Structure 1
Amino acid sequence: MTDRTKEAIESGAHPIGTWISIGHPTVAEVNARLGLDFLVIDIEHTTINLETVEDMARAVDAAPGETDTVVRVPWNDPVRIKRVIDIGVAGIMVPMIGSAKEARDLVNALRYPPEGIRGIAGSRATGYGRNMEEYVTTANGSILTIAQIETEDGLDNVAEIANVDGIDALFVGPADLSGTLGMFAEWEREEFRDAVEHVIETGHEAGVPVGTLTVDLNDIESTVRDGFDFLIAGKDTTQMMESTERAIETYENALASSPVSDR
């Protein structure tokens, strides 16, 4: 576990990651070899279990380079969060944070007493107990903590959420945010654009970086222009499908323009 991505986000270095939803260490390792700053392993909307997350984190750590592992957990549940961070990942992303209280609950779940409620154990994060004392005394505040803003409550309370001590970054969840506003996937609709702008401006006023996800790589340039501070670019399943579709199309075009098609 490192705090490189946390430092990069907080310093305005505009780090880039990608989205991992295929639960296999090879997928994590291959992406970690590409020079990305971080990977986000999604366990909210996938069947990936904790043992697989641990193996994927090992694969990232073993790959050459300095890629960090961030995990998007299913909910703001201190038990789930505790079990994930005991693996020794660099960061946590939590969906649907809607109030300052929920943001404080998130921070508390990530910190050992007396600052929080995290239980102490000889986990992978502590070197299986060998580095427990050192880890426990230095871990608080070292784990990248990202609150997702994707509900009406989150929009209404974004200023209070951003000002909670320990929230390192906000993240606009575009699909859920557009859905909760009754305009799913209407990315260019004025009301949706205003909501996104509100989150970015409010985060910046509080000195808190704001990031988002773009599955369509053609949208990266416009996302940067919007003023986001970090980006999750692409998703493993989408990129695999698009690559295969391009291969099929290229093959079919080659056959159509080649004498072999006349045989």
Structure 2
Amino acid sequence: MALVNSLYSQAAKGALCKAFGVRLVANPSVVQLAKNSGFDALFIDLEHSTLSINDASLLCMAGLQIGITPFVRVPHQCGNGFVQRVMDGGAMGAAVTISKYPPFGCRSMTGQLPIFELRSTLANTIIDETNAHGSSVLLMIETRDSVDKVEEIAAVDGVDVLLIGSNDLAIELGVPGQFESSEFRNALEKVSQACQKNNKIFGLAGIYDAPKIQSWALNTLGARFILGQQDSGLLATGGKRCAEAISEVLK
């Protein structure tokens, strides 16, 4: 079977890959809701959540079944073993060497993988299809050091996306929450330029309900991967609006 990866298919058209963040809801029904809403990918967060690897696998498998590409954010310094378990659970994206099979990486081979519908699959097919389509590499740019070394990072073979972690990066730059500041904007411009130079995809995460900044990132800087919102954020804002609307009716 040929693997379909929305990050690659959208990038090939110069289109935007829209990701839905999951950090709270373990029920796979949330995946169908994300698909119905028009998102192309999942961004399952195992760094800032209590979701387990098993939760992530169930979400990934649901995504694979209905055609929404699952990516998983792993915790900082979690180790290759953790990343490999996430990938074997159905994720289609992680970090470079452990996400790829030899000769491009050092991922260990196993059978009945979710991305191949748990079917027995020839080893060569697993290697070729996974390395080409089922192992996207998204690197988070969240520190001043990563911005300073972005040319070196962007030049790494096998990296697909440099994804801005907006909140952590702004804090590192000394401008927490100040996404309109020159410090933050200059950093994004530098990352964008490195992506363009090295044919990588520029991505934005952590900035929601801010169309002006999002428009600048998408239309000026050329971002083609964006984390649109997370389940927790949608529940928080939607719940608040609902309660306020009910209170207004009472008046």
- In which range does the TM-score fall when normalised by the shorter chain? 0.7 to 0.9
| Equivalent AA in structure 1 for residue 98 of structure 2 | A
User: Percent identity between the aligned chains?
Assistant: 26
Partner of 1:225: 219
Question: Aligned to 1:217, what secondary structure does the other structure show?
Answer: coil
| Equivalent AA in structure 2 for residue 74 of structure 1 | P
Structure 1: how far apart are the matches of 2:184 and 2:57? 37
Scaled by the length of structure 1, what TM-score is found? 0.84
**1:239 is matched with which residue: 231, 234, 237?**
234
CA RMSD between the two structures:
2.0
Structure 2: how far apart are the matches of 1:21 and 1:33? 19
Structure 1: how far apart are the matches of 2:225 and 2:128? 29
> Is the CA contact 2:167–2:206 (under 8 Å) kept in the aligned structure 1?
no
> Is the CA contact 2:54–2:89 (under 8 Å) kept in the aligned structure 1?
no
Unaligned runs of 5+ in 1: 93-105, 257-263
User: Is it true that 1:71 corresponds to 2:63 in the alignment?
Assistant: no
Structure 1: how far apart are the matches of 2:35 and 2:93? 15
Structure 1 residues 166, 78: CA separation in 2 closer, same or farther (over 3 Å shift)?
same
Unaligned runs of 5+ in 2: none
Task: State the shift of 1:233 in Å.
Answer: 0.7
Partner of 1:131: 121
Alignment of 1:7-156 (within 5 A): 7-22=9-24, 23-63=26-66, 66-75=67-76, 77-92=79-94, 106-125=95-114, 127-128=117-118, 130-133=120-123, 134-142=125-133, 143-156=135-148
Structure 2: how far apart are the matches of 1:5 and 1:189? 30
Structure 1: how far apart are the matches of 2:138 and 2:104? 18
Task: State the shift of 1:174 in Å.
Answer: 0.5
Aligned length: 241
Structure 1: how far apart are the matches of 2:157 and 2:64? 29
Structure 2: how far apart are the matches of 1:61 and 1:186? 37
> Is the CA contact 2:112–2:120 (under 8 Å) kept in the aligned structure 1?
no
Scaled by the length of structure 2, what TM-score is found? 0.88
With 54-63 and 80-89 compared, the bigger mean Cα shift is at: 54-63
Q: Which has more radius of gyration?
A: 1
Task: State the shift of 1:222 in Å.
Answer: 4.0
With 165-174 and 128-137 compared, the bigger mean Cα shift is at: 128-137
Structure 2: how far apart are the matches of 1:128 and 1:234? 30
Partner of 2:201: 209
Structure 2: how far apart are the matches of 1:61 and 1:108? 23
Task: State the shift of 1:137 in Å.
Answer: 3.6
